[in-house]
Structure 1
C-alpha cells in the first residue's frame, strides 16, 4: 500500500481538554484530559502502521530504509529519522511558559550534560537531545497564547495600570533602560526571586489584572489572560513573567511561528502543531517542573517581537502553504472543493496527511484508496509516487521542505 493509515498516541497531560480531541475524532471522552495526539516517528510515542505483517512503529519503518521512506535528500540532511513531528494540540489550561534553544545551543548543552553524566531521564536535565525545536501552531478553533516580549514601554504602562507597588521598580526599569538590558533585568528579577516571598506580589498582580479585565481599557484582553493564568498557578512568579509577553488570539486558519529564543505559552484552544523532532524545552514558570534560571537566561532572546500571525498562501494548484524558515518541516493544507475536484500530492518526500474536517479520499497510482475523516491521518513514503486527494473538507499536509 502506498498510503498507510496511522494509529496515533494521545498524551493525557493535565492541561489538556477532556472533550476537544474526542469531539474531533467522533469518539466518547474518557473523562481524563487528552492534550496532544502525536503523528510521526518520535521515540516517545511513534505512530503505528500496518503493511500486512501487523502493526509496526513508523520510527522502525523509517530506520529500516531511510532513502525509500524519506527520500535521499532528506535522509542525507537529517539521517535515518523523520525530522518533524505533527500534533493535534488541545489546551484547556495554560501550558508552561517556555523557550527553545537554537541548534548550536542545543548541541552544546546536550554534550555538556552528557559529559557531566546527567541521566537522560533526570528531572533536572535541560537537553534531551542535540536538536532545536522551531514550532508552528495553526488554529482549528480560536486559539489564545503569549508570544515574544512586548515593547518595554507598553509593558511599563500595563504595570503602572496594575497599581502594585512592588512592580513599580520594574516599570521604571522598562522605561529608562535600553531594551535588551531592561527585559533581561526584569525577567531575571522575577524568576530569581524567592518563590514564597514573591507569591504575595504575584497574587496582587493577579487581582489587579482581574480588575482591569472587568473594565473597558487597552489592557482588558491581556489582563483576562493573565488573571486566568493566575487561577491555575496562584503565587507563581511566571504570572508576572507572562505580563512581559504579547497576548495573541488566533482565528481558525491563522498560525503562529515560534523560532528559537522566543518565550511563549499556549493558553487555550485546539490546533495543529508541527515542530522539529526534538524534546528540548527550557521553562520560565507556570509549571512544577525544573526551571534552570541561569540556562534559561542564556537562551532567551531579549528583544521585542511583534507576533507574526501567518495566513496560508495559495499556490494556484489547491495547496495553501504556511511559510516559515524552518528546515525540518513544511505545513500546508488543502481545502477540498465542494465539487470534488481532485488534487495531486507530489511524491519524493515523506509526508503525513491529517484530516480536520469533512472527508478526504487518498488514491495511490495503483488505484488503491484510503478515506480520512476528522482526526485521522496517513503516511506517504517518499517512494509512494504522486497520490490523488479528493473529497470535501480540510486536510493538512506535513512534509520536509525541498
Structure 2
C-alpha cells in the first residue's frame, strides 16, 4: 500500500508568536535542500555541533540517496534569523521523520536553530504535521527538548528516554603536557609504546588542515590506515561501507572547503600507523573517526597519536576535545567527563502517531511476555 502524504501549500504561512511575525515554509524532496542551501549555510556558525550544520545533512543525503524523502520546515523571524528542520521520512509500518543519518551514524543530532522564537515556531509546525518525529540522540542540555514539550502540549505526546553519553575533555594549558594527566602506570605504558615505535622506525606525527586540493590525498591515506586495522578485518571500515565511506569522504571534502577539516596521521618507518579524522567548530575539536594499522599494534599507535592530538588542541587554545561516539576503554584513562544525551520522540495527534504508539505498546507487551516465559521455563527445570 503506497503512503500518501497530505498536500502542503508551498507558499509560506505566518504564525504570531509574542509580538513578532514568524513565517513558516514547508518544502519536500531533493530540490528542498538547494532552495535553503544559502540560508542554512549562513546559520551554520551559530550551531552548537557540526551535526547541526548544513554540510552534515547535505553529505548524508548525497551518500545515501535519501534526498527524495527529505521534508524541510523553515521558520524565519526578522529578530532571530532562521530555524530549520531538515528531516528524512522513514516509511514502513510506523512512518516517522528523523534527522539525516541519525541512526546510521549514531551521533547526537538536533534541529538547526537561530533563536528561541524560531525554534518554538519550528516545533509548533512539526506538531501540526502528520508524522511522529524522532531524535534518537540529542544533548540533554538542548533547548529543543523544552521547545518540543511546549509545542506538543495539548497537541500530542513527547517522550524523552535515556541515550548513551558522549565523552569529552575540557582543555586548559596543562594539556600541553597530556602525559601529566595519566596515572603513573599509564605514563609508563605510554613511554614503553614510544620506545617500541622508535625501534620500528622513524616516528613522524603530521597534522593537516588541508585545502580542497590537498584533501583527497590525505583522506586516501587515512582511509587506508583505518582499513588496515580491526575495522577492516570486520568489514566496518569506511573503505568497505559504500554509504558511510562515501558520506565521510564527501563531508570531509566539504569541510576542507570551509577550512574546518583536521586529519592527523602517525607514520612509523614511513608507513601510516594511525589516523584521526576530525573537524574544528565553535572552538572545539570534534573527533569523527580513528583507526590504526594492526601490524603496529605493540606500539599502541592510536594512543600515541591521541596524546599528540590532545597536545596540539591545547596549544591551539581550543576549549574542549569532543570524542563523540560513546564511552570506550581507550578514552577512560584521559577523561571521565561526559555530555548526557537523551532520545526524543514527539507524536502529534494523527493516525500515524496512533499506529506508532500502538506498535510500540504491543512490542513492550511482547517483550514482557517473553521474559515471563523464559523465567517460567527456567523455574521448571
Instruction: Give the TM-score of the pair, scaled to structure 2.
Output: 0.28
Question: Which structure's CA Rg is the greater one?
Answer: 2
Instruction: Give the TM-score of the pair, scaled to structure 1.
Output: 0.27
